[in-house]
Structure 1
Amino acid sequence: MEYLQITTETIFGFAALFVMTKVLGKSQITQITAFDFIAALVLGELVGNALYDPEVGILDIGFAVLLWTLLIYGTEIVTEKFKGSRKLLEGSPSLVIYEGKVDRSQLKKSKLDINQLQHLLRSKDVFSFREVQYAVLETDGTISVLKTSQYQTVNRKDMNLTPEDVPLPRTIISDGEIIWDNLLETGFDEKWLEQQLEAQDYNEPAEVMYAEYKTGDKDLYILGM
């Protein structure tokens, strides 16, 4: 009975947390601020400790998750309605490089040293401070970089070229399985896919790790297993 209770509470806790993330939205997953980090730790402790406490039942877990969800959701409403609360609850971006110069005072406020700043810049394919005009440390700990003009990538506008539509590549096969919705959206059918596979010496989708199609391409792009 003890294992059955743990199993039941674990499944319930998983389902409750899953529903909570759906209600709160993707920002709670992708944009982890200091407040979100604390919320995630506390919520994990609430559910984790409750699972192995024989005196805590499903209703207790459900109440804790619901209460914590309401607190987080209420905080989101507060930051949305009252702009002045955003700096306290969500933090604010820091301009750590301004006009090519590193702002040491902002680094100190952000508890960031030069080595850590270099690491963040390298994650943006920047390997020298001389390449950076502005750099903003975001509230989720990532960095946004605006390069100096001589290091910026040349685009079609710079070269006075006519703008072109940018097609969205669609995954047709993933791990040997056909993504039927994407195949139909491209306007092709299974017969066309079989011809594409045969043309590149593949007998069946199970032999393909990944395949994608982009509007305008003649052939399917395929990566074998």
Structure 2
Amino acid sequence: MFVDGATLDLVLRGLLLTALAMGWVVLLTRVNGLRSFSKMTNFDFVMTVAMGSLLAGASQSTNWDAFIQAGLAMAALFAVQYSAARLRRSSDKFEAMMQNTPIVLMRDGIILEDALRHTRVARSDLIAKLREANVLDFSQVRAVILETTGDISVLHGSDCSQDVLQGTTYIE
């Protein structure tokens, strides 16, 4: 692809194609914006994984056609993400279709066992998250929420506004 020697070509191809592909991803990210690799939705997670796979494929291309195809697939993925984000902002129906609902796992110091069962979150995992959030006593916990991204948010303190819990689901 670059030189006649197999080993030297392999090294050059790996270095140059990786640099070109990375530059392309940076350019696409600059055009698409900061949200490109956020973890706000399931779609964003899929975008990140797919982009990594396409970047690896581009870096390992053995000919220009394969490299260009991977680059075009990256651009298409960014275009789909941009379109999906616009649709989510403009349509509540599309938002509901694309997005899971955050689920309350614990409220006012009480673990909601049905919610744990429904979400398949182990009690021990919940307690580990409480420790990570420096919770010293269950009575300090206002709410624990399994977010749409799979992250667990722990809200503790003296009070929790209903506005913060907006859009969450209770399973009892």
Q: TM-score, normalised by structure 2?
A: 0.73
In 2, the alpha carbon distance for the partners of 1:41 and 1:34 equals 11
Match in the other structure for 1:31: 39
Q: Is the 8 A contact 2:103 2:145 kept in 1?
A: yes
What is the match of residue 95 of structure 1?
104
Residue aligning to 1:64: 73
In 2, Cα distance between equivalents of 1:97 and 1:117: 9
> Which piece of structure 1 moves more, 111-120 or 19-28?
19-28
- The answer to whether the 8 A contact 1:21-1:28 is kept is yes
What is the distance in 1 between the residues matched to 2:144 and 2:72?
Answer: 43
For structure 1, the residue ranges without an aligned partner over 5 or more in a row are 150-225
Deviations 1:98-133 (A, max 9, x none): 233222222223221111111222222113322213
User: Alpha carbons of 1:117 and 1:83: their partners in 2 closer, same or farther (altered >3 Å)?
Assistant: same
Greater percentage in helix: 2
Secondary structure, aligned partner of 1:97: strand
Separation in 2 of the partners of 1:37 and 1:17?
16
Say if 2:16 is the partner of 1:17: no
CA deviation string 1:192-225 (max 9, x = no partner): xxxxxxxxxxxxxxxxxxxxxxxxxxxxxxxxxx
Q: Tell me how far apart the structure 2 counterparts of residues 76 and 115 of structure 1 sit (CA, whole Å).
A: 35
Gaps of 5+ in 2: 3-8, 160-172
Is residue 96–residue 136 contact of structure 1 (8 Å, CA) maintained in 2?
Answer: yes
Q: 1:7 aligns with which of 3, 12, 15?
A: 15
Segment of structure 1 superposing worse, 71-80 or 16-25: 16-25
| AA of the residue aligned to 1:61 | A
Query: 1:46 is paired with a residue of what secondary structure?
Result: helix
8 Å Cα contact 1:9/1:57 also seen in 2: no
Query: Matches of 1:72 and 1:146 in 2, distance apart?
Result: 34
Q: Percent identity?
A: 18
CA 1:111 to 1:146, structure 2 compared with 1: closer, same or farther past 3 Å?
A: same
Q: Which has the higher contact order (CA 8 A, sep 6+)?
A: 2
Deviation sequence 1:13-70 (CA, Å, 0-9, x none):
1012122333343344443533222221122112212322313444223211111111
Number of residue pairs matched by the alignment: 149
Is residue 115 of structure 1 aligned with residue 124 of structure 2? yes
Q: 1:51 to 1:24 in 2, by over 3 A?
A: same
Say which one has the larger Rg. 1
The alignment's TM-score, normalised by the length of structure 1, stands at 0.58
Structure-2 residue corresponding to 1:46: 54
